[in-house]
A and B are shown apart, each in its own frame.
Chain A
Amino acid sequence: MTDEEFAELLLKPCADTKDMGLTGNQQELWEMQDALTSYRRDALHWAERRSAVQPSLSDRARAQQRWTALPRWALAMVALVTIAGGVAHLVADRGEEPGTSVSATLPAAEQPAAADDLAADNHLLSSIDAELSYHGGSPVDGLRLQDEQSAEHATVNGATD
């Protein structure tokens, strides 16, 4: 009997192989089956006896659950606080006017100086604007070029006449 055949037959119940009328290695097969049955039973008997005196696992399981639950709660709390902080900041930003929010970020001592600068800039811009605005006359009028030109024209006409 090959090892493969032996292994296959070893898996069958003892009674089945005894009814199969095996020849050759049947004695070896039955002995091995009996040995395995005996091992199975005696080893289980030993394990049952040893298990009976083992302490309960419920305390350890509870303690383990507490230890695994603690970091989970801590992480959840950190996440919650972070999200709440973010949302509060967002809501505060949306509630304010854009101009106010800019001025709110400036230090209080710098605010009057900024207002003075703004007024000075406005004054400068309005004076430039006034200078550039057109009042009717041409800038060339200031040079009196036209009067001189007409005087010259009259002199030339008189000479020709």
Chain B
Amino acid sequence: MAYTLHADVLKFTTKEPTAITELDDIDALARNYRPRLLRFVMASVRDEELADTVVQDTLLKAYRNRAGFRGECTINTWMTGIAVNLIRDHARTQKSKFWRKVHASAVDATDMANHLRSSGSSPEGALLAREQAVQVHQAMDLLSPNQRTAFLLRFIEEMDLPDIASAMGMPVNTVKTHLHRAVKSVRARVGGARV
């Protein structure tokens, strides 16, 4: 009698130990996921110290709750979901309200914005792209928190719609709505600046 083994079973058995090993080592987690998380969180909150804190809390929370990771999505998606929730929590605090007030009346002069404006020397075409990257960065300022999160996860973190829905804790259709509104707003801002 011949038995056939389903491909998903093989995928599951090979994927699981790697994920567990990676989650058991906090330094490996930080090494592999910190930069991507920091890029996303910084683009969301626009405050370097707050971004550092949120990323640190995300890594510690992921490490502490690693037993709860069931491998239904990638570690990156799981940790992005934790970061999204922590950003929401921070947005509710008085400190974040204060920061939003300060930020609303100030030019974006963060280290990241400066880096986008002047990161090394490059050919003419790349220079134009960099200018537009700064415009995209500024255009995201005008988006609502949900629109900005959906836009960043889709176009900067290049995540799939179901993963974004899972990370944001909302249906795929709601994510699509946020995404289309965000694209419309960014397009108007960046296209308007170009014309």
Contacts and interface: CB of A to CB of B under 8 A. Distances in A.
B167 interface: no
A6 B187 contact: yes
Q: How large is the interface on A (under 10, 10 to 19, 20 to 34, 35 or more residues)?
A: 20 to 34
Given A6-B183, A32-B190, A57-B59, A45 B115 contact: yes
Given A44-B36, A54-B34, 10 more contacts: A11-B155, A35-B190, A45-B119, A46-B112, A50-B48, A51-B38, A56-B30, A57-B59, A58-B26, A61-B64
19 contacts: A31-B128, A31-B129, A32-B190, A34-B128, A35-B132, A35-B133, A35-B190, A36-B133, A38-B129, A38-B130, A39-B137, A42-B130, A43-B43, A46-B42, A51-B30, A51-B35, A54-B34, A57-B63, A64-B64
Contact of A57 (B30, B133, B179, B190): B30
A43 B116 contact: yes
Given A57-B60, A68-B64, A37 B34 contact: no
Interface of B: 26-27, 30, 34-36, 38-39, 42-43, 48, 52, 56, 59-60, 63-64, 111-112, 115-116, 119, 125-126, 128-130, 132-133, 135-137, 154-156, 158, 179-180, 183-184, 187, 190-191, 194
Nearest to A40: B156
A61 B26 contact: yes
Contacts of B183: 3, 6-7, 10
Given A56-B27, A64-B64, A47 B39 contact: yes
A31 B119 CA distance: 19
A43 B116 CA distance: 7
A28 B188 CA distance: 11
Q: Point out which of A40, A47, A57, A60 has the most chain B C-beta atoms below 10 A from its C-beta.
A: A47
Given A38-B129, A43-B42, A43-B112, A48 B35 contact: yes
Given A42-B115, A61-B26, A54 B52 contact: yes
